[in-house]
Copies of this chain bind each other. A is one copy, B any other.
Amino acid sequence: MSLLTLLPEGQSAEVPEGLTLREALARLGAEVLAPCGGEGTCGKCRVQVHEGAVPPLPEESALLKPEQLDQGLRLSCRVRVAGPLRVEIPASSRRPAMRILPGGLSRPVPLDPAVTKQVVHLEPQQLHQPWARLEHLRFSGELRADLRADLDLLRRLPSLLDGEGGTFTAVLREDRLLDVERGDTTGRCFGVALDLGTTTVVASLVDMVSGREVGHAAVVNGQTAYGHDVIARINHTLEEDAGLEELRQAALVSLQEVITQVLERAGVQREEVYEATLVGNSTMMHLFLGISPLSLGQLPYVAMFNDALEMPAHQAGLQLNPAAWLYMLPEIAGFVGADTVGAILATSLDEDEGRIRLMADIGTNCELALRYGKRLLVTSTPAGPAFEGARIACGMYAAPGAIEEVHLDGTVKLKVIGGGPPLGLCGSGLLDAGAELVRCGIVDETGRLLDPEEVEDPVWKERLIEEDEARAFVLAWREGQPPLTLTQRDIRELQLAKGSIRTAIDFLLERTGLKPADLDEICLAGGFGTYLDEHSALRLGLLPAVDPKKIRFVGNGALVGARLALISRDLRQGGALAARQAEHLQLAGTPDFQMRFAESMLFTGGAGSEG
């Protein structure tokens, strides 16, 4: 055993030698981010070793610069405990406090939740009333005749309804009596909409009486410790016997954590929440339920189930009111999941409004939906995690400290979430940075960062530096720290993401015989920032050339859809119907996909002109 001390607070513990530093820190309750799952490939789990360092391993030298190693930065998934250590975890390696996207309901919805409350005044039961206590409650409250109660409630009913009568509140969910509460509690009834993202888990707390959102919260999906994308997670269930259960638990812990946060902030008790809705991609849905996602990872890439599922929330492990139910939105295809159905609901794409509308939900996977008259076409494409800040040298989540806007206007102008000093670059900042560098001619059409000698303006010239034998553009210099840069490799990641999404858009248009100018609206959804600059999106060619006014940023559409399903049974049906009727186009299987994709990687946008 060796003594491990965590600075600056100085917590310490004796930990076994041979553990990785990351594992050892976990024993102190300190979590270090590792998007790659601790494989030593992402370089994100850096910690500062103040005392007790051993010589760097080759993987560390590959991912950290010599000066970083000199400063004591190390990869905590590689370093193993071999003696006493005093370490510090930089903010960039910790889970940030997440900032939620603004939004709110995007369509008018009559309030008609599955769960309702009704007050019932009970008279004491008389000898000439030989019916059961439950019948007495039913008659007295004029509740529906086919009302049924589950065993758990029946077991609690004798102590609840003691024959004396009084005022009670029936908690109803369609033909099911969920619960009976003493007194009149009809004023308080809550639901929670959940978005289980590959990277981020978000909760929206809804007052089911008014239908209004009363709070939201977000945390990082604890599954990221097992790998950054869904493929890594699927592989984890293959490689480890307990892998599926570990991922299920991780999702559950994150969901419970975000629920606890949102409840605490709003002053709502867990027992007051009677319904949850959940969206996520197919892999997330499978993992959350403990269903092997293997079929999603191999040809023909299908889910085990598509339908909306509903079950007692505790069956899935969620701790709300013990009688609460969970509704999981339906999926469309293996890689077009409940999150897409949520985004379709949020953007009203489930309805034919007579307009031609495109929705792109941009995440590690990008899903697209096109409403064209009676047709609803969907497809999906892997976009890579660039827009969520992963695999980007200075990338980070859309959390305080993240650069969300970049303008090159004589100098580099940055807008940072929270207003403090910049800590990294989130998705919208990445897009802006790329677009501005292209606009100013610092990045050419092929995505190449120019050499300093190719650039005339001395302001840009001095920002073009050589870093690890590759070109990088300095977004911000920082005192005592390496500068915040956009590297050539970052630009390649951006190209891949952009190319993938654009290919999918073109493909959808082509299959419907539409031209970009035919589109009445393009809705961009996703959690990559609090806004997305439509001009940047157009300039980089992420979107086809359309009038920028047609582009609308809707934030986390998946979550909004979950909230709509929470307050409207009608929209639940609408989502289920849309999921069933949607035509799924398989992009990966099309013959010229690779060629189109290569073309799409070029930065040849339309700069706002209609195509």
**A152 → B minimal CB distance (Å):** 9
A134, closest chain B residue (CB)? B305
Q: Which of A154-162, A458-466, A523-531 contacts B (4 or more CB under 8 A)?
A: A154-162
**A15 → B minimal CB distance (Å):** 36
The reply to whether A130 and B305 form a contact with Cβ atoms under 8 Å apart is: no
Query: Which A307-323 residues sit within 8 Å CB-CB of chain B?
Result: 307, 309, 311, 315-316
- Residue-by-residue, is A128-139 near B (CB-CB < 8 Å gives 1, otherwise 0)? 111111111000
Question: Of the candidates B127, B131, B304, which one forms a contact with A157 in the assembled complex, judged by CB atoms under 8 Å apart?
Answer: B304
7 CB < 8 A contacts A-B: A132-B302, A133-B305, A134-B305, A136-B302, A151-B309, A155-B290, A158-B291
The reply to whether B148 and A307 form a contact with Cβ atoms under 8 Å apart is: yes
**A312 → B minimal CB distance (Å):** 10
**A245 → B minimal CB distance (Å):** 11
**A284 → B minimal CB distance (Å):** 15
The reply to whether A128 and B586 form a contact with Cβ atoms under 8 Å apart is: yes
State the interface size on chain A (CB cutoff 8 A). 49
A151 and B288 CA atoms in complex are apart in Å by 11
**Residues of B close to A586: CB separation below 8 A:** 127-128, 130
**Residues of B close to A131: CB separation below 8 A:** 302, 306, 333
A134 and B150 CA atoms in complex are apart in Å by 27
**Residues of B close to A388: CB separation below 8 A:** none
A289 within 8 A of B: yes
A95 within 8 A of B: no
List the 3 closest pairs (A to B, CB-CB), nearest first: A158-B292, A130-B333, A132-B306
A159 and B304 CA atoms in complex are apart in Å by 11
Question: Of the candidates B159, B311, B584, which one forms a contact with A292 in the assembled complex, judged by CB atoms under 8 Å apart?
Answer: B159
**Residues of B close to A573: CB separation below 8 A:** none
Copies of this chain, count: 2
**Residues of B close to A163: CB separation below 8 A:** 295, 298
**Residues of B close to A148: CB separation below 8 A:** 307, 309
Interface residues of A (CB under 8 A from B): 125-136, 148-151, 154-155, 157-159, 161, 163, 289-292, 294-295, 298-307, 309, 311, 315-316, 331, 333-334, 584, 586, 589
**A244 → B minimal CB distance (Å):** 9
Given contacts A148-B307, A158-B294, A315-B151, contact A130 B289 (CB under 8 A): no
**Residues of B close to A306: CB separation below 8 A:** 131-132, 134-135
A316, closest chain B residue (CB)? B151
**A421 → B minimal CB distance (Å):** 47
A124, closest chain B residue (CB)? B300
A528 and B295 CA atoms in complex are apart in Å by 59
**Residues of B close to A289: CB separation below 8 A:** 151, 154-155
The reply to whether B151 and A305 form a contact with Cβ atoms under 8 Å apart is: no
A584, closest chain B residue (CB)? B130
**A161 → B minimal CB distance (Å):** 8
The reply to whether A295 and B127 form a contact with Cβ atoms under 8 Å apart is: no
The reply to whether A304 and B154 form a contact with Cβ atoms under 8 Å apart is: yes
**A40 → B minimal CB distance (Å):** 30
A193 and B150 CA atoms in complex are apart in Å by 22
The reply to whether B125 and A300 form a contact with Cβ atoms under 8 Å apart is: yes
Question: Of the candidates B126, B154, B155, which one forms a contact with A300 in the assembled complex, judged by CB atoms under 8 Å apart?
Answer: B126
A315 and B292 CA atoms in complex are apart in Å by 24
The reply to whether A127 and B589 form a contact with Cβ atoms under 8 Å apart is: yes
**Residues of B close to A300: CB separation below 8 A:** 125-130
**Residues of B close to A161: CB separation below 8 A:** 304
**A395 → B minimal CB distance (Å):** 32
The reply to whether B127 and A291 form a contact with Cβ atoms under 8 Å apart is: no
The reply to whether A331 and B154 form a contact with Cβ atoms under 8 Å apart is: no
The reply to whether B333 and A158 form a contact with Cβ atoms under 8 Å apart is: no
A383 and B244 CA atoms in complex are apart in Å by 59
The reply to whether A303 and B126 form a contact with Cβ atoms under 8 Å apart is: no
A312, closest chain B residue (CB)? B151
The reply to whether A132 and B301 form a contact with Cβ atoms under 8 Å apart is: no
